[in-house]
């Protein structure tokens, strides 16, 4: 039994958000150490250079990233990066600090290896995140890409959403390697209404203006899995027209098919194993309609899932829920599985897995 398996037995006796706070507190403490992240990274050995990926103008040391939602306030980037991720996406962050929804708001569906959350973008605000990330010593975990996921403040009305995103993006623009427009969380009223052509184009116009004012940065759009095929096609076209650098498929789902856990009736976004099939289908739909880089997320829990996403045309991967259930070992397993597949096929780079059956 590995260290995380032992810790998990204790953590899973706690209320989920309490367990999350304890883990993040430990990772934040490790991140404040000058030496510990370097030592953590050294224990993993040399990275496989064949796993490096070039996408939207950035170089990723490997294709596996940590999805937004775990480290909302960017308190643990060095420690998380040292666990082997090629990228860490922090947030979602909003222009204004906000407490999020009432507790309880996070639920484990252990029988389904899933989570339901209705956190509601609880965070300390974009200015606080920007100040913290500006103090980071990125040299402790060289090469790991830092993304910042930006959402709408709860108090912002639909007609002022573009201004709200502008305020948040303007704060974090210079400290991020890339930025993600989160228009797909189900836990902020009115947010998913931004997943239409005109509202999305308005947000991408804001991003274009900020590129002119503050310098070039790739901006991605994160899609919901609950869209129809026609809605997906419409949004992909809008993302291309608006100058998005890439797409993330997908966010959490409101669907509740074939779940065993008694928490299946809880409101909020479902993530983990039950999302895998739909997330893969959305990836296929997106890839059929664009050549933009696509980050695949949703139900990735091991090498087989990762390979399925590459076969479907993913450029990069993200996970979150399997990290909660399996710990850092899932990162090691996915990367080792990709290396093994390259060996098996006699390939020289992970990008060569893209689209292969």
Domain-wise residue ranges, the chain: 3-353
297 with 250: CB under 8 angstroms? Answer: yes
- 179: nearest Cα among 137, 144, 221, 123: 221
Q: What is the pLDDT of residue 150?
A: 98
Chain segment 46-71, per-residue pLDDT in tens: 899 999 999 999 999 999 999 999 99
Going by their DSSP bridges, the two strands 87-93 and 64-66 should be labelled as parallel
Active site residue 322: no
d(CA 244, CA 283): 17
Q: How confident is the model at residue 139 (pLDDT cuts 50, 70, 90)?
A: confident
- Calpha distance 180→176 (Å, rounded): 10
Is residue 1 pLDDT above 60, yes or no?
no
Distance CA 319, CA 65 (A): 7
Residue 37 and residue 30 in contact, taking contact as beta carbons nearer than 8 Å: yes
Other C-beta atoms lying within 10 Å of the C-beta of residue 215? 9
Distance CA 4, CA 163 (A): 43
Question: SS3 for the chain, per residue?
Answer: CCHHHHHHHHHCCCCHHHHHHHHHHHHHHHHCCCCHHHHHHHCCCCCCHHHCEEECCEEECCCEEECCCCCCCCCCHHHHHHCCCCEEEEEEECCCCECCCCCCCEEEEHHHCEEEECCCCCECCHHHHHHHHHCCCHHHCCCCEEEEEECCCCCCCHHHHHHHHHHHHHHHHHHCCEEEEECCCCCCCCHHHHCCHHHHHHHHHHHHHHHHHHCCCCEEEEECCCCCHHHHHHHHHHHHHHCCCEEEECCCECCCCCCCCHHHHCCCEEEEHHHHHHHHHHHHHHHCCCCCCEEEECCCCCHHHHHHHHHCCCCEEEECHHHHHHCCHHHHHHHHHHHHHHHHHCCCCHHHHCCCC
* Predicted pLDDT of residue 3: 83
- Among 92, 184, 185, 271, which one carries the catalytic annotation? 185
- Residue 231, pLDDT above cutoff 60: yes
What is the structure's pLDDT at 10?
A: 94
As a whole number of angstroms, the distance between CA 136 and CA 51 comes to: 25
- Give 237-251 pLDDT, tens digit per residue: 999 999 999 999 999
- The answer, yes or no, to whether residue 268 has pLDDT greater than 70, is yes
CATH homologous superfamily of 3-353 equals Aldolase class I (3.20.20.70)
What is the per-residue pLDDT for 334? 98
Largest Cα separation within the chain, whole Å, is 54
Q: Given this model, what pLDDT does residue 357 score? A: 76
Report yes or no: 179 and 172 within 8 Å, Cβ to Cβ.
yes
pLDDT attached to residue 46: 87
The total of other beta-carbon atoms located within 10 Å of residue 104's CB is: 13
pLDDT of residue 81: 97
Structure confidence by residue, pLDDT tens digits, 301-329:
999 999 999 999 999 999 999 999 999 99
Residue-wise pLDDT tens digits, 159-201: 999 999 999 999 999 999 999 999 999 989 888 989 999 999 9
Question: Would you state the pLDDT for residue 43?
Answer: 86
Question: Quick check: 283 pLDDT over 60?
Answer: yes
Mean pLDDT is lowest, of 45-49, 265-269, 333-337, for 45-49
Average pLDDT value over all residues in the chain: 96
Q: Kindly list the distances between the CA atom of residue 83 and the CA atoms of 1, 43, 77, 266, 326, in Å, as whole numbers in the listed order.
A: 18, 9, 10, 32, 13
> What does the pLDDT read at residue 44?
85
């Amino acid at each position: 039994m590995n260290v995380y398996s032992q810790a998990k037995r204790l953590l899973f006796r706690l209320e989920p958000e309490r367990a999350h706070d304890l883990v993040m507190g430990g990772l934040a403490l490790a991140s404040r150490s000058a030496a510990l992240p370097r030592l953590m990274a050294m224990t993993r050995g040399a990275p496989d250079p064949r796993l490096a990926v070039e996408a939207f103008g950035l170089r990723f040391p490997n294709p596996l990233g940590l999805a937004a939602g775990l480290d909302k306030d960017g308190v643990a980037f060095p420690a998380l990066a040292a666990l082997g991720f090629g990228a860490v996406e922090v947030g979602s962050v909003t222009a204004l600090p906000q407490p999020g929804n009432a507790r309880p708001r996070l639920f484990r569906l252990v029988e389904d290896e899933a989570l339901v959350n209705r956190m509601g973008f609880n965070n300390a605000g974009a200015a606080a995140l920007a100040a913290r990330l500006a103090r980071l010593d990125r040299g402790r975990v060289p090469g790991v890409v830092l993304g910042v996921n930006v959402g709408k403040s709860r108090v912002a009305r639909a007609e002022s959403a573009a201004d709200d995103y502008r305020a948040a993006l303007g704060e974090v623009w210079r400290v991020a390697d890339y930025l993600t427009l989160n228009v797909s969380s189900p836990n902020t009223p009115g947010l998913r209404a931004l997943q239409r052509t005109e509202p999305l184009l308005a947000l991408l116009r804001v991003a274009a203006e900020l590129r002119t004012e503050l310098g070039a940065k790739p901006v991605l759009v994160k899609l919901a899995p609950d869209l129809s095929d026609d809605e997906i096609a419409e949004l992909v076209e809008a993302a291309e027209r608006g100058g998005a650098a890439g797409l993330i498929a997908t966010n959490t789902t409101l669907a509740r098919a074939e779940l065993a856990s008694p928490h299946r009736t809880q409101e909020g976004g479902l993530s983990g194993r039950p999302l895998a099939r739909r997330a893969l289908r959305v990836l296929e739909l997106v890839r059929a309609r664009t050549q933009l880089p696509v980050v695949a997320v949703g139900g990735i829990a091991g090498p087989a899932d990762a390979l399925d996403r590459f076969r479907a045309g993913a450029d990069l991967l993200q996970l979150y829920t399997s990290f909660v259930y399996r710990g850092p070992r899932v990162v090691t397993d996915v990367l080792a599985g990709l290396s093994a597949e390259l060996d098996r096929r006699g390939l020289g780079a992970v990008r060569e897995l893209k689209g292969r059956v």
